[in-house]
Chains A and B, each alone.
Chain A
């Protein structure tokens, strides 16, 4: 029987952020999840689509706000239209309240973590997101 592995996808234009975030998530949650990274919104949308072929299912997306090409809110809204069940988290130093409010309304954004973030913040947000049915 093919086993579906749950995946957490991180989207940021800074590779250093992605690398450290990935390591952090693995440290927090171990090998029972798969961790994937993408460097802009379009790449992320492709990745979510491709994952299915690898028997991976994206359940959480953590996205930056300012990225080349497509802003994080636009990406999350697009993602939400196609995958409303994926839980969305924003990790940013720049998005203002109106952007967050809009993304919350249109993409059901669950949390927004401010950069620089702490391990505790991330752990709490991920845990709560996973508990939400």
Chain B
């Protein structure tokens, strides 16, 4: 598909595709690798930077916590603080006591709180009641630790049971719009007696100030501390882009987000989409002191700004190289297509007939060769054009001559035409005369019959001539053979005989005896067979000249009892004996040939004589029907022997009284028509039968048949289906009249493309009974 498309494009586009195919993948790989490398390096650097920030802030937070613990541990060992705590607890043993605090005591606690940098300081009695808090502005009921402050209660429990410092998780407390955490430590007298618990609130502002230090985090970087409170993940500090005064925000914990990872104590770095919906690169880890996650992150857009630039630069490079490739492709294409265009233009001009067209190109390469070939072609074309023009001139000359001749011929034809018109007029008047003489003609029917017969005979003359020429040729050649052979042998014979011994003489005469009785009807094929057999036989017995002797013996008609002549085969005169015997018997054979030939010739002459026989008396004579048919067949033999088969079924019928020459004309007409209908190929069956007192003669041909619509017409005078000049149309009319004259009947049956059978019935009339019997 794509290749089909490319193949149909101009060369420039094809080259472009080719160049692109080479250049583009390499460039893509290069760009990808460099971009990937840059991103990798940048990610690593960024990761290091964010990790450093995490480590710094994590250390600061841990330091802060250690500090707080140190402070309250020192605080609970100060005797004055212990005394104050004891007094406050003792003073507030009754839960319902709501009397105001002694302002001096209160002031002392606040002093401790401030000097030890605690966010809030609370004293809890051993019976788990908060008896004092420096922050009474808090809207929490500290007087009673209820289920709402579950976390604080647990913290108090843990600290009082273990008698050690304990932390709480971040929790939400009424009156605070941010999550907060607490540290609890037991207050004991010097004697070791347990007085209560000191609870200090972790200063959220201190942690916030630590994580809000954006040093090295650019314009979009920030750190977030995230804790899990009541199943939600919550930011415990305000961030760069979101203060805690805004509605608390939770993060969707269902996804495996960095915060989940970090809360499970694992660290990592990578890209994710933060609460603002922006893509960020982050480092995350756990802070054990806070039991929270710390995520240090920076917007991808800022962190990877340099990469963004690299992307633009790379795109620019790709575009630039593409431009160069396109330019290169087109200039390369020009390099090819320029000469091709020149060639095309030149070829077109050439095809428009401008044969002076030549191309000049500086190229010495394949294109140069093409140019040379083109120029050569143009040269040849110009040459042949010139030759063509010369031919044209000659041709025009000839056309002129011919036109002149035609004109002349036309003039002659015009003259002839005028004559024809004249003749036509004459013919028309002649036609009138002919019409007048038609009646006369019909009355002179006997004359017509004669002329029809002669016309038939005329058609046969060529064939008959051949029939005679064949025996004539044989006779002539045989006669000359006899003369020459006799002349050559007659003088040698006495001397030849004197040289033969008695046996040889005897056998020689035997040979001559058998040769003189040779069966002349033996076929050439049979002769060949005999000759081969004889030759083999002679060769087997080791006789020299086997072939020559075999040939001569067979020609002489000697096929058997070959061993009788053994003495001759081995005779020293062998060659001469057989030569002489053959030549001498040849005279007899020639004479026999002459006999056969003259028989043949006389048969034809006899047939002709029969055919033309005319009863001068004008009366019927006794004649054999079958002999008459044979006569006609003999005359027609030459026309039929090639591809017509004749089947004769003749019964013996005694001669009948008839006009034999006229009946011959009937047979001739019917056979002639049959031959024409079957185009001288096929089968004719002739039967002669005696039926009661009639002879029934039938001629069945395998011709094309007579169409139904003209079957009623064929006995009418001048009716013919043959081309002009081939038939007079009188044939069957005369046949009918002849049969009528014999008081016989003629009829036929015919089927198209199967053949026609003519039936003739003739009454048998003998000399004894000259009155014809009507059938």
Contact = CB atoms under 8 A, between A and B. Distances in A.
- Same complex origin of A and B: yes
Interface of A: 5, 13-24, 26-27, 31, 34, 36-39, 43, 47, 50, 54, 66-69, 71, 91, 93-94, 115-119, 122
Contacts of A36: 528
A119 B535 CA distance: 31
Contacts of A66: 466, 638, 641-642
**6 interchain residue pairs of minimum CB distance:** A116-B473, A93-B469, A116-B472, A115-B473, A20-B477, A16-B474
19 contacts: A16-B471, A17-B473, A19-B593, A20-B477, A20-B590, A22-B555, A23-B478, A23-B485, A31-B548, A34-B547, A37-B524, A38-B525, A54-B535, A66-B641, A93-B470, A115-B466, A115-B470, A116-B475, A118-B476
Interface string B446-481: 000000000000000011011001111111111011
Contact of B597 (A16, A67, A91): A16
Nearest to A24: B477
A38 B476 contact: no
A133 to B, nearest CB: 27
A8 B325 CA distance: 87
Interface of B: 462-463, 465-466, 469-478, 480-481, 484-485, 520-521, 523-525, 527-528, 532, 535, 547-548, 551, 555, 579, 586, 589-590, 593, 596-597, 600, 638, 641-643
Looking at A67, A91, A116, which has the most chain B CB atoms within 10 Å of its CB?
A116
The residue in B477, B527, B590, B638 that gathers the most chain A C-beta atoms within 10 A of its C-beta is B477
A122 B477 CA distance: 10
A91 to B, nearest CB: 8
Nearest to B575: A31
A21 to B, nearest CB: 6
Contacts of A31: 548, 579
Contacts of B579: 31
A94 B643 CA distance: 16
A124 to B, nearest CB: 14
A43 B525 contact: yes
A58 B638 CA distance: 29
Contacts of B475: 20, 116
B589 A15 contact: no
Given A23-B589, A39-B525, A69-B642, A93 B466 contact: yes
Contact of A18 (B480, B524, B551, B638): B524
Nearest to B638: A66
B638 A15 contact: no
A52 B524 CA distance: 18
Contacts of A34: 547, 551
Contacts of A38: 524-525
A93 B465 contact: yes
B466 A67 contact: no
Contacts of A118: 476, 480
Contacts of A115: 466, 469-470, 472-473
Residue from B473, B474, B485 with most neighbouring chain A CB atoms (10 Å) = B473
B642 A71 contact: yes
A27 B466 contact: no
Given A20-B475, A23-B485, A93-B466, 16 more contacts: A14-B474, A16-B471, A16-B474, A16-B593, A17-B474, A23-B586, A26-B586, A31-B548, A31-B579, A39-B525, A43-B525, A67-B641, A91-B473, A115-B469, A115-B473, A117-B477
B520 to A, nearest CB: 7
A37 B642 CA distance: 19
A52 to B, nearest CB: 14
Contacts of A5: 547
A87 B192 CA distance: 157
A113 to B, nearest CB: 9
A32 B675 CA distance: 47
Contacts of B485: 23, 27
A50 B528 CA distance: 11
Contacts of A24: 477, 480-481
B524 A67 contact: no
Contact of A14 (B463, B470, B521): B470
Contacts of A116: 469, 472-473, 475-477
A1 to B, nearest CB: 15
B466 A117 contact: no
B520 A27 contact: no
Contact of B524 (A27, A39, A68): A39
Given A43-B525, A93-B465, A119 B480 contact: yes
B592 to A, nearest CB: 8
Contacts of B589: 19, 23
B523 A39 contact: yes
Contacts of B555: 22
Contacts of A69: 642-643
Nearest to A91: B473
A41 B480 CA distance: 28
Nearest to A39: B524
Contacts of B525: 38-39, 43
Contacts of B535: 54
A34 B525 CA distance: 16
Given A20-B590, A93-B466, A115-B473, A68 B596 contact: no
A21 B477 contact: yes
A39 B469 CA distance: 18
A24 B477 CA distance: 7
A51 to B, nearest CB: 10
Nearest to A46: B525
Contacts of A19: 474, 520, 589, 593
B243 to A, nearest CB: 118
Nearest to A114: B469
A36 B548 CA distance: 13
A43 B527 CA distance: 13
Nearest to B484: A27
B586 A68 contact: no
A69 B521 CA distance: 20
B466 A20 contact: no
B17 to A, nearest CB: 60
Given A19-B593, A116-B476, A94 B462 contact: yes
A35 to B, nearest CB: 8
A96 B641 CA distance: 18
A15 B523 contact: yes
B465 A15 contact: no
A38 B575 CA distance: 27
A14 B414 CA distance: 54
B590 A23 contact: yes
B520 A15 contact: yes
Contacts of A14: 470-471, 474
A18 B523 CA distance: 10
Contacts of A27: 481, 484-485
Contacts of B474: 14, 16-17, 19-20
B153 to A, nearest CB: 130
Contacts of A122: 477
Nearest to A118: B476
Contacts of B521: 15
A16 B600 contact: yes
A67 B642 CA distance: 6
A39 B579 CA distance: 26
A21 B478 CA distance: 8
B481 A17 contact: no
Contacts of B523: 15, 39
Contact of B596 (A16, A26, A39, A119): A16
